Structure 1
Amino acid sequence: MTAQTLAAPAAPSRLTTWAGRGLIGLVTAFMLFDAVIKLVKIQPVTDSFRQLGYPDSLARGIGTMELLVTALYVFPRTSVLGAVLMTAIMGGAIASHLRLGDPLFSHTLFGVYLGLMAWGGLWLTDPKLRALLPLRR
């Protein structure tokens, strides 16, 4: 057996870093907004929960969970765990919209778009994640 040494991942360029931070900022802003409106429990939230077939009593619990997951996502040390959990939340949202037959590109796939932005932001800013998930030519 031969020992292989892995090259240190290259540091991202300034443009790449700022693009990643922008994506992370957009995802964070959306998740915070979504969590807060569920915690405040405004009428559109109650209406959408009813339309999705869920009791509106779940809104505060889901909002709290989204807030905690967003906090994990924002801190670099726990950002990958936050992204994994955020992906799980988006999977639930996708399943809910798919079950109702909501419009594909605007409602059902919105969780996919948000998940891609969340992971894309981390991938652009974290050299270790880019080394783990490289793009091939």
Structure 2
Amino acid sequence: MQTKFAKIAGWILTFLLSFLFIMSAYLKLSQNETAIAQAEYFGINAKTYLLIGIVEMVSLILFIIPRTGVLGTLMLAAYLGGAIATHLQHQQPIVIPVLTQTLLWVTAVIRFPEVKYRLMRSML
């Protein structure tokens, strides 16, 4: 059983991550000119960028819901892995996606004890 502090910390981190991902998805879904220009720089057309925004929102919703949180964690981790690879390919800084990925896993370990158990078990 988790302590009250761990539950509160897990939800605070979840809200922080949710804010980051909602802002990111909003730019993709709104088809903002600045966001589309950035996507085109990376070689992504507007239609694909919209699809990426939808995948990002679905992954976030799955992450927020406790019952599907582990699946959401895996989907967001994969999403961020793609972001890191894209940034590396275009010689862009990877600090933000790496820090977001780290925060995602810290939050998952706090919120989902089975993730912590599996990670610790695999290290032994």
- What residue is the counterpart of 1:7 in the other structure? none
The answer on 1:115 being equivalent to 2:101 is yes
What residue ranges of structure 1 are gaps of 5+ in the alignment? 1-10
**In proportion to residue count, which structure has more helix?**
2
What CA distance in whole angstroms lies between the structure 2 residues aligned with 1:127 and 1:64? Answer: 28
Pair 1:21 & 2:7 matched: no
Report the count of equivalent residues.
122
Q: Does 1:51 align with 2:41?
A: yes
Query: Which residue matches 1:67?
Result: 57
Range with bigger deviation, 126-135 or 76-85: 126-135
1:45-101 Cα distance to aligned partner (Å, 9 max, x none): 111112212222212111111111111111111111111011111111111110111
Q: Distance in 1 between matches of 2:59 and 2:111?
A: 19
Q: Which letter maps to 2:117?
A: A
More moved, 62-71 vs 117-126: 117-126
> What's the TM-score, normalizing by structure 1?
0.80
The structure having more radius of gyration, on CA atoms, is: 1
Instruction: Determine the structure 2 residue equivalent to 1:130.
Output: 116
2:81 aligned with 1:91:
yes
Identity of aligned residues (%): 25
The answer on whether the counterparts of 1:24 and 1:117 sit within 8 Å (CA) in structure 2 is no
d(CA) in 2 for partners of 1:21, 1:134: 22
1:37 aligns with 2:27: yes
CA contact (8 A) 2:25 2:54 kept: yes
**Secondary structure of the structure 2 residue equivalent to 1:54:** coil
Mapping for residues 6-17 of structure 1, pairs under 5 Å: 11-17=1-7
Greater relative contact order (Cα 8 A, min sep 6): structure 1 or 2? 1
* Alignment counterpart, residue 82 of structure 1, candidates 66, 72, 75: 72
Q: TM-score, normalised to structure 2's length? A: 0.87
RMSD of aligned alpha carbons: 1.8
Per the alignment, in what secondary structure is the counterpart of residue 133 of structure 1?
helix
CA contact (8 A) 2:70 2:112 kept: no
